[in-house]
Amino acid sequence: MPMAPMSSSLSLRRHAVSALCLLCGLLCADASVHGYAGERFAAVGNAFVLNGGSEGIYFSPSADSFIRFEKVAFRRTPESAAAAEDDGNRTATVTAVLFEAADRDAIGAAAAVPGSGSGSPRRELCCTPAMARRGACTEGSLVLAHRAPNNANSSSPKVLSASFLPGALEASFPDETIPVPRTGMYNLRFVHCHASLAAVAVGKTIWKNGRGGYLPGRMAPLETFYGAMSLAFAALAAFWFLRYAHHWREVAPVQNLLTLAIALGMVEVTAWYLDLAEFGASGVRPPATTFWAATASASRRAVSRVLALLVAMGYGAARPTLRGGVGIRVAALGAAYFAASETLEVVQHVGAVSDDHDHYSPASGKTILFLLALPVAVLDSTFICLIFVSLSRTLRRLRARRSKTARLLDTYRRFGTAVTIAAAVSLGWAAFEAHFRWTEGEERWRVAWVIPAVWQLISFALLCAVCLLWAPSHDSASRFADDAGVFRGDDDGVEEEEKLPLVRVAGPLSYVGSWACYVTRDDDAKIILRTDSGGVYAMSGQEGKRV
């Protein structure tokens, strides 16, 4: 028993030292690092390829732009070395090819697919026996075509080689810094043509951008964008919180939800800005900051959709409470959206360094992202349908009592217009994004940052419109309060007006020919009688009075 405190103390010291080393590693890093620890080759055609990175790099005369190899090597097991010697491959070579997107055709050669009548072409990265007989290359080596005469970039593709000598278990690349001579999308691939070679990679490459520090080219403009969005949210928050503080006694429940949405939006854009700023300064994308930014983004999106649905349902105005199953169903839908969106955001952003992967890379990553995006798309569609159905029902209720809810009706009409415009723009932008990604060539990497930026602007514009419509004022409580029980909801979320239909009785009850009868559920039961002449009578117990 006396040893337990000492063991606990040693354990705490070890964890503290590990955390300090990790923090030092993050703060002391000096570049955009692509690490290869434990990565393996994947079969692509007749070759084996490992993606070393893809980044858009800006060239700047006033700043260095380069790609640096640091202790990049490949290791194989003794069994793999013995198998290679048995196959006659006494020397196995791994080739590193750094090329610009415009020089893609310089890697590999077109070959006919056996058995196809039309001889449809495909690209072979490794030299085949037929190519070797024509004298185009050496069998078993990487095929490098001649550069186009009009290609002014004489440094692309850049080729480095590392060979496994007989019996050796490691092949190392020289530590070399390759300058980037012009702006472009650069791709690094490690390729070998030996089926018996089973090697894993170690080391790293460091990519320096001439603009945006160590940020990849597609991400560099987003740092400025999120900085501007932080200022825009700060201005919106200042406007909202001043109105909120001045009229805090008149705040309606829906306005509290708007406060939460604004706060989450501020946290989201600030977290993304800090993530990109730290990435650009240190070269290492901070996983903790990226995770919290992704979580804030998923939270803001879920809360915004739930808020739009609650407003469309008339919560805080035409529907004073969410009793029964309505609130539970809305909360469950929001939780499902948060879970799906959080998963997608984390997988898509945490640890992401490369700008893109080309067709030489395995497609499993894109397939996973597509599968994760499907639930988010389905839930988005569900929210849109529910919002418009609920808004239509609320507007119908308000039109039925227009004389008593004229201001509220006008507010909901404007809200409906804002939601319709936002939905139409979102659908149009989603179609454009699908077209952009489907037809995107790597030459468009410089404008790819606009895709997430416009989504942020659409969301921010709708939030601003809702904040203007529901801004706290001296009559907020009365403007959004329940209208004398006319719209009072029951436990199932169905308005009382639907369950207790209007009753008209013909007879000599008064000088008026017909009456309208309503029953309310106040603490003391009341019967409200409305006449065609405009008279309204309220009776409680045995008493009655004209109101």
CA distance 509 to 64: 94
Nearest Cα neighbor of 89 from 72, 71, 76, 73 is 76
d(CA 270, CA 267): 5
Q: What is the pLDDT of residue 321?
A: 65
- Is 93 within 8 Å of 161 (Cβ atoms)? yes
pLDDT 10s digits, 370-415: 788 889 999 999 999 999 999 998 888 888 776 556 777 888 899 9
What pLDDT does 476 receive? 58
- Check residue 443 and give its pLDDT: 66
Statement to judge: residues 260 and 153 lie in one domain: no
Dihedral over alpha carbons 143, 144, 145, 149 (to 10 degrees): 180
**Final residue of a domain: which of 208, 234, 267?**
208
Query: Looking at residue 129, what is its pLDDT?
Result: 84
Nearest to 199 by CA among 26, 38, 371, 359: 38
In a domain, 526, yes or no: no
Task: Tell whether 455 is covered by a domain.
Answer: yes
Distance separating alpha carbons of residues 93 and 191, to the nearest angstrom: 9
203 & 240 share domain: no
Same domain, 137 and 229: no
- Mark the ranges of the chain whose per-residue pLDDT is less than 50: 1-31, 115-120, 148-153, 357, 359, 361-363, 482-525, 530-547
Cα Rg of the chain, angstroms? 33
Q: Which domain holds residue 102?
A: 32-112+121-208
User: What is the per-residue pLDDT for 71?
Assistant: 92
Q: Are residues 375 and 327 in the same domain?
A: yes
This prediction has a pTM of 0.73
Q: Is residue 441 included in any domain, yes or no? A: yes
248 and 108, same domain (yes or no): no
Tell me the C-alpha distance between 228 and 223, whole Å: 9
- Domain co-membership, 413 together with 274: yes
Alpha helices in 178-219 (DSSP H): none
Peptide bond into 157 cis (omega under 30): yes
**Dist. CA 496–CA 503, nearest whole Å:** 14
In CATH, what number is assigned to the domain containing residue 398?
A: 1.20.1070
Instruction: Give the residue from 145, 176, 208 where a domain finishes.
Output: 208
Residues β-bridged to residue 204? 35, 70
Q: What is the pLDDT of residue 499?
A: 43
The answer to whether residues 61 and 150 belong to one domain is yes
Q: Has residue 268 been placed in a domain?
A: yes
pLDDT of residue 26: 33
Q: Please choose, from the candidates 98, 86, 34, 80, the residue with its C-alpha nearest in 3D space to the C-alpha of residue 200.
A: 80
Can you give the three-state secondary structure of 99-117, one letter per residue?
EEHHHHHHECEEEECCCCC
Give Cβ neighbours of residue 14 (< 8 Å, ≥ 6 apart).
none
Distance CA 291, CA 40 (A): 26
Domain count, the chain: 2
Same domain for 366 and 272, yes or no, is yes
Q: Does any domain span residue 501?
A: no
Specify if 93 maps to a domain. Answer: yes
Whether residues 365 and 454 fall in one domain: yes
Cβ contact 178:67 at 8 Å: yes
Residue that is written with structure tokens 């090819």 in the block: 97
| Residue 328 and residue 192 in one domain | no
Give the tokens for residue 96: 């590193």
**Residue 89 forms part of a structural domain:** yes
Which residue type sits at 3? M
Those residues with Cβ within 8 angstroms of residue 373's Cβ, 6 or more apart along the chain or in another chain: 344
Asked whether residue 228 falls in the same domain as residue 376, the answer is yes
Domain match, 242 and 313 both: yes
Which of these three, 159, 185, 208, is where a domain ends? 208
* Inside any domain, residue 498: no
pLDDT (tens digit per residue) in 271-298: 999 999 988 887 788 889 999 999 999 9
